[in-house]
Amino acid sequence: MDTQILHKNAYKSQVAVFPPDVNTFRSKETVSQSFSLLPARPRHASQSSVRDLVTILNKSAVDPSQLDVVVAPPALHLDLVQQLLKRDIAVCAQNVSLTGLGAFTGEVAAEQLVDFGITWTITGHSERRAYYGETDEIVAKKTKRALGLGLKVIFCIGETLEQRQAGQTLDVLTRQTKALATIIDEKDWRRVVIAYEPVWAIGTGVVATPEQAQEAHHKLRKWIAANVSTSVAEGVRIIYGGSVSAKNCKELIGLDDVDGFLVGGASLKPEFDTIIRSAL
């Protein structure tokens, strides 16, 4: 299952795996993955299916001394997943409100996530940007608020096929990142993981080459060095989320500026362990 088939995908869960300490210098022992729950298969949104997916993760060959595993299920299943997952796997929200506590029906505030013991949240996912009109400014403000309340954030960025074909990849990635960089302190970047998810390479059958992945990550890191700081550029983890599989994971993780993965369907298959082992 793919994480980004925008017109088909819903009720999906996501997972991320990072170095064990957010204060640790970025290393090649960083992996991120996600798995999808499609509305075409309602059973995937059930508690029993979530239990099955958690079982897969609990059996994964993850060494907590080298990797942090972060699982982001739909909001309805946050508590269930938190109860079932082994302790070395953290639970993450797929989204967080721009506002705090108050009369905001349907929203989940960062304060509520913290109260439930949730330590991570995702912001800026391509589906949130595409379907809910979340602008760069909104995503940045959500991220800042979450960081301010002690959450760690998986900050998603990425360009569409049209933007890539127009040669706008770097412009889009830096624009999205700049919106955040201008409103958070340098120290906050230690609790941010950037997830580069090229929309054109997710759920489309089009696979980015390792060269394309490295180029995007490298240019983004250079921009961060020039516009934020060298230390942030060297320390921030930039993970890749474009159709990662057992076939390409070893080559991708060997790239200088690719610190990990955002995996789709492979997280539900035996090859998931292969992807995990590639980062060790």
Options 127, 134, 159, 197, the catalytic residue: 197
> How far lies 22's CA from each of 111, 187, 237, in Å?
21, 11, 10
Which tokens sit at 115? Answer: 């109260």
Options 29, 44, 77, 125, the catalytic residue: 125
Which secondary structure element, helix H or strand E, spans residue 131, and what is its range? helix 126-131
**DSSP structure class, residue 47:** H
Instruction: Confirm whether 218 is a catalytic residue.
Output: no
User: Which residues sit opposite 92 in a β-bridge?
Assistant: 120
CA–CA separation, 113 and 144 (whole Å):
15
Instruction: Confirm whether 125 is a catalytic residue.
Output: yes
CA–CA separation, 246 and 267 (whole Å):
10
Amino acid letter for position 217 = H
Task: List CB contacts of 160: < 8 A, sequence separation 6 or more.
Answer: 199, 200
CA–CA separation, 263 and 108 (whole Å):
25
Which tokens sit at 191? Answer: 């609790």
Closest-CA residue to 32 (of 269, 270, 258, 271):
258
Active site residues: 125, 197
